[in-house]
């Protein structure tokens, strides 16, 4: 009987240590996720335009990456990137080496993440009876 009492005391100590470790881990995770308050938007109209216009987003927020003028091929790829992000289309890009394909694609990933939701974010798709439809298109 004496042994059993020690085992119970040991399990209680283990459970308490486990709870302390869990609380410590949660506190560390929370501290790592806290990125402080977001700064105020400098220009609401600039931000709204950047949400709608990928080219403007690139030129405004990444001028150090996009230093040359846009070619017709770039403009076509930019228009396609906008459709890919908004409507979940697919994209394959073939352009000469050094023309900025990777840079455009990397910034395209940031565009919806930085968006306020007015333009760049993809519209949600709703599946209904095996058919994919967009909200408001009248499909059931």
Q: Indicate the domain borders of the chain.
A: 1-33, 44-123
The rounded distance, in Å, linking the Cα atoms of 133 and 136 is 9
Whole-model pTM: value is 0.60
pLDDT, tens only, 67-123: 999 999 999 999 999 999 989 889 898 999 999 999 999 999 999 988 876 555 554
Q: Give 28-79 pLDDT, tens digit per residue.
A: 888 877 777 777 888 989 999 999 999 999 999 999 999 999 999 999 999 9
Is the Cβ–Cβ distance between 79 and 85 less than 8 Å?
A: no
């Amino acid at each position: 009987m004496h042994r059993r009492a020690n085992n119970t005391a040991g399990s209680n100590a283990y459970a308490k240590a486990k709870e302390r470790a869990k609380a410590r881990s949660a506190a560390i995770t929370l501290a790592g996720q806290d990125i402080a308050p977001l700064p105020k938007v400098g220009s609401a109209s600039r931000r709204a335009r950047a949400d709608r216009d990928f080219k403007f987003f690139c030129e405004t927020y990444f001028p150090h990456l996009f230093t040359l003028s846009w070619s017709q091929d770039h403009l076509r790829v930019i228009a396609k990137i906008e459709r890919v992000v908004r409507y979940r289309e697919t994209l394959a890009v073939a352009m000469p080496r050094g023309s900025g394909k990777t840079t455009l694609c990397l910034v395209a990933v940031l565009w919806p993440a930085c968006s306020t939701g007015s333009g760049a974010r993809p519209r949600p798709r709703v599946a209904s009876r095996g058919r994919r439809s967009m909200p408001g298109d009248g499909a059931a």
